[in-house]
Amino acid sequence: MMNLSDSLHDLAQRIPHKTALFCGEAEMSYQALDESTTGLAKWFLNQGLQPGDHVAVHWTNSIPTVQLLYALFKAGLTVVTINARLKPAEIEFILNHSQAKMCFSEPALSPLAEQAGVGCPIIRQLPVLDTAQVLQGALPPVDPDQPAALLYTSGTTARPKGVIHTHHSLYHVAANLERTGLAENADGLGLSVLPLMHMGGLAYLLASVHLGASIVLLSRFDPAAVLAALEQFRCTSLGLMPALWYLILDEQARKPRRVSSLRTAGAGGDAVSVALQSRFEIAFGIPLQEVYGLTESVPLTANPKGAIRAGSFGTPIEGVELRIVDFAGRDLPEGETGEILVRSPTTCIGYWNDPEATRAALEDGWLRTGDLASRDSEGYYWFRGRKKEIIIRAGSNISPQEVEESLYQHPAVLEAGVVGQPDPVYGETVVAFVVLRNGAQAEPSELRLFAQKHLADYKVPEGFFFLPEMPKSPTGKVSRRALKGMLVPDSVA
């Protein structure tokens, strides 16, 4: 098995002048990417860093970001990813917890990193290298089982956990994404919008480079900019979070662009509603392919092209084993809802400096995902919620995703988020947060009656909040934790 950096070097020998990266007016060939990252890797080691040391990258999607990632891989150093949307206190926690020896922070973002007040040096620019010395001498070999990246989750815990991925697991992340058909191959042009500091964006980059594709990098998500890039570059593939696809669809309806070049579109990271898939296919003329995974292990399942089941997150990718188990860890039959356990070469080796969380998540090679699903007779999996987000009303379990799915079918609803509100009688009641489409109107009573047509009475929201925009995590998911924080007794309609 090659390491990630080995596959880049191999491509630089085979297709040296092919453009690997486009970003704004700049571009970089595979040969230039390989040579620059080799030189940068040597620079890192010349600074006294040792293989295994942690180096943070705090940068939006750009050519320097890709150079930093591959240089750190080549040097045997561990990348600590810092999302560009984080605040100083969050950055401080990651830098301290990861024990980073150095932090590369984009010039526009570096004041945030400097406000964090940590001891490691904050570096704003890539070093200028002596090109005559770049290719002199060999880099030390990198063990595939050596840690390659430390990615911090944005889950439901009070503090994010640092997920440790090795060169081996990231290599298989790229290989598995290739198997789904969602990563662009050598004759296509991928559009990279998800942050490279997030597993979704990193996985897409690794798979695309592994396949020798060209990639257009966008520094941040903006619906108009995404559609403009699709039109200008004639991009052929794009993957996004479901919440972001809704915004793309609304922008395309407002101001249509020529997007017929798109031949592969993926959605993952959260539940993909049937309503979203239907709207997408009408607007773009191709199906939206749902994929499932998490920071700890991705991708795990995908809807096979030509055999997509709307509402399902597909079937296991080759080499991935899934189980559905009850609270005692016993396997459940088809149709029963339980927790997803996974065994895959893409799985992380644990959480940095957190043996208790590692023991709780990993046992005998199986990862407890915390996600709930069921499996049908044909081997397709159906998402049923997350263990920590299930609403329990008078002893009955309610999936927030199921309620959101019903609301998304209302023509006035752009986005929906559903959480449980503490209740002295029922334990919890269902509350919905809704963002309406521009110019649309809807009353709580109208939405309540609409939901009653699709849901059992005990699942129907008893209160509604209308928001101008939905709070989201740094990775683009609707933040149910933030929604729960907005709840004030007797303040819902």
Which residue positions in the chain have pLDDT lower than 50? 156-157, 490-492
Helix axis angle, 274-284 to 400-408, nearest 10°:
40
Give strand pairing partners of 362: 367
- 49 to each of 41, 72, 123, 246, how far by Cα in Å? 10, 11, 15, 44
| pLDDT at site 49 | 95
Report how far apart the first and last C-alpha atoms of the chain are (Å, whole number).
58
- 383 to each of 290, 353, 402, how far by Cα in Å? 11, 31, 9
| pLDDT at site 2 | 61
Distance CA 238, CA 224 (A): 14
459 DSSP assignment:
G
| pLDDT at site 1 | 54
Give strand pairing partners of 324: 340
What does residue 180 show for φ and ψ, rounded to 5 degrees?
-75, -20
- 339 to each of 301, 315, 428, how far by Cα in Å? 15, 16, 22
User: Which residues, including other chains, have CB under 8 Å from residue 81's CB and lie 6 or more apart?
Assistant: 56, 57, 149, 150, 151, 152, 196, 197, 198, 202
* 3-class DSSP state of 49: coil
| pLDDT at site 156 | 46
Q: Which of 275, 95, 266 is nearest to 181 (CA)?
A: 266
- 165 to each of 4, 168, 319, 323, 352, how far by Cα in Å? 12, 8, 18, 22, 10
Asked if 442 and 428 count as a contact pair (C-beta separation under 8 A), the reply is: no
Distance CA 233, CA 25 (A): 12
Q: What is the per-residue pLDDT across 297-311, written as a single tens digit (0 to 9) for each?
A: 999 999 988 899 988
Q: Which of 455, 483, 481, 490 is nearest to 157 (CA)?
A: 481
The number of helices, as runs of H, and strands, as runs of E, in the chain is: 15, 26
Helix axis angle, 30-46 to 63-75, nearest 10°:
60
Helix axis angle, 30-46 to 4-14, nearest 10°:
140
What is the length of the chain? 493
Distance CA 199, CA 183 (A): 14
- Domains with residue ranges and CATH for the chain: 4-375 (3.40.50.12780), 390-486 (3.30.300.30)
Distance CA 286, CA 271 (A): 19
- 171 to each of 111, 125, 152, 261, how far by Cα in Å? 34, 28, 19, 29
Q: Which amino acid is at 78?
A: T
pTM over 0.95: no
| pLDDT at site 493 | 53
| pLDDT at site 223 | 96
